[in-house]
Amino acid sequence: MSWIILIVSGILEAVWATALGKSEGFTKLGPSIVFGVALLASMGGLAWAMRDISTGTAYAVWVGIGAALTVTWAMATGDESFSIVRMLLILGLVGCVVGLKLVGHD
């Protein structure tokens, strides 16, 4: 269950990171609210998952999922340019996250 919570928390990290960018310095109410709610849920889930998963592994997985999804979303929406090299690097990041689960003792 901890791994499921951690994955959902990583997804929520991408949500709050994207909302933070869209909030334009907290001048837009909607994205600012999404940021706050997603941030609290993401951090809460990370903290919960860290009861069973070591800090280093949990944090690396959380950040990896969040970073990969944030940049993928930005490329999908046109906020960042797409390239094969970028996609391969993101896939490498995801591979490392999966590897941490596979070799971990949690």
The predicted-structure confidence for 21-43, as pLDDT tens digits, reads as follows: 999 999 999 999 999 999 999 99
Query: pLDDT (tens digit, 9 = 90+) per residue, 54-96?
Result: 999 999 999 999 999 999 999 999 999 999 999 999 999 999 9
pLDDT at 105: 64
**Token reading at 2:** 């901890």
Q: How confident is the model at residue 103 (pLDDT cuts 50, 70, 90)?
A: confident
pLDDT at residue 100 is higher than 90: no
Instruction: Please report the DSSP string for 23-38 in residue order.
Output: TTTTTSHHHHHHHHHH
**pLDDT for 106 beyond 60:** no
The C-alpha angle 44, 48, 53, rounded to 5 degrees, equals 130
75 class by beta-carbon count within 10 Å (0-12 exposed, 13-18 middle, 19+ buried): middle
Closest CA to 12 of 79, 77, 66: 66
* Model-wide pTM > 0.85: yes
CA within 13 Å, CB half, 15: 18
The percentage of the chain sitting over the pLDDT mark of 70, rounded to a whole number, equals: 97
